[in-house]
Amino acid sequence: MSTAPLKQYQIPFFVPCVGEEEIASVVETLRSGWLTTGPKVRQFQELFAERVGADHAMAVSSCTAALHLALEAIGVTTGDEVLVPSLTFASTSEVVIHLGATPVLVDSRPDTFNMDPADLEKKITDRTKAVIPVHYAGQPCDMDAIADVAKRHGIRVIEDAAHALPARYRDRTIGSISDLTCFSFYANKTITTGEGGMVTTNDPELADRVRLMSLHGISKDAWKRFSAEGKWYYEIEAPGYKYNMTDIAAALGIHQLARCDEFYERRKTIAERYTAAFADVPEIVTPTVEAHSQHAWHLYVIQVDIDRLRIDRNEFIRSLNERGIGTSVHYTPLHMHPLYRERFGYSPEDLPVAAALYDRIISLPIHPKMSDEDIENVASTAIRIAEENRR
């Protein structure tokens, strides 16, 4: 094993933005003696539901847990199929497999990188139970088209909104549109609880099922059993999961949520400055932003035009890293991973748009702690690499 120190980037890909109020709130919670699911979780749920305009919000331990619970709540089981974009993180699809169902992968739109509604409709069979559109990078999917397909075929819609706080589709807030919506509060998301997630819905029966299954299938909120209003007795109604959020995480989330607009405005500014800087650089293609939606700017993903360059995407990334710029790639499409090739028989050419995007995409740093100088350094470094390697 190498003992060499990890590379320290001059401008890291991401830095959490946690202030003194968040720290004080977590310390207060630690001193309160109430560490697991309790009053802070309840407060966070209420504030989040109000924020996104949903009737119900259920805080859980991760977005993966949220997706698992959402699929279980609509009855996904062995033999069902769930439509999932290939250009997404592992969790969107793996929860389908956990329930014994089959993930059916859908190709991307070449402009927004989101799920292609036309390819979605082609993949529907009599076994299809649900579709999980992913709002890639924070750009809302074409939810009207997806909802139309779902309605005509009688399938449910569960939004993977891990990237999409705060995002809006037309006049609606993401989190208030579909059967269920799942959010992430992982460390690098637009707000964070360290680890954590949220399920939102306007359907009281789905909300009750998510609540029940999020904590061992116990019939009452577990924390009530140990409060002044509670009792020791409880009943197990279903074989649930251990997916509850802690009060420690919720204490952080409450204050992060209060800063959500502040964080968004800075991310939006960074994105606008990148886009302006790259406007006259044909080797760098900037993200498409649809006029009818509010992009959350969780990620800023460029495409490098490898036909105009003497280097490929990987070499472009290497050059950025060598010059102190942290980067990432979101994502290697699922159908190109061994699991999906070997178990489900996918080949790269089966989803050609996602496969072609993978060869070109680079995620640049975008987070509220970036200074104006950081933004300029990232943009000028990327431009310099493009200019040095033009064909």
Assess contact for 370 and 9: CB atoms under 8 A.
no
Phi-psi region of 207 (alpha: psi -120 to 50; beta: other; left: phi over 0): alpha
DSSP character at residue 226: G
Q: Do residues 258 and 50 touch, judged by C-beta distance below 8 A?
A: no
**Per the omega criterion (within 30 degrees of 0), is the bond before 133 cis?**
no
Active site residue 242: no
Angle at 298 between CA 295 and CA 299, to 5 degrees: 100
Q: Annotated catalytic residue: which of 129, 151, 189, 369?
A: 189
List b or e across 262-282, with b for residues whose CB sees 16 or more CB atoms inside 10 angstroms: ebbebbebbbebbbebbeebe
Query: How much is the CA Rg of the chain, to the nearest whole Å?
Result: 22
Burial (CB count <10 Å: 0-12, 13-18, 19+), residue 125: exposed
d(CA 323, CA 280): 22
Q: Which positions are annotated as active-site residues?
A: 189
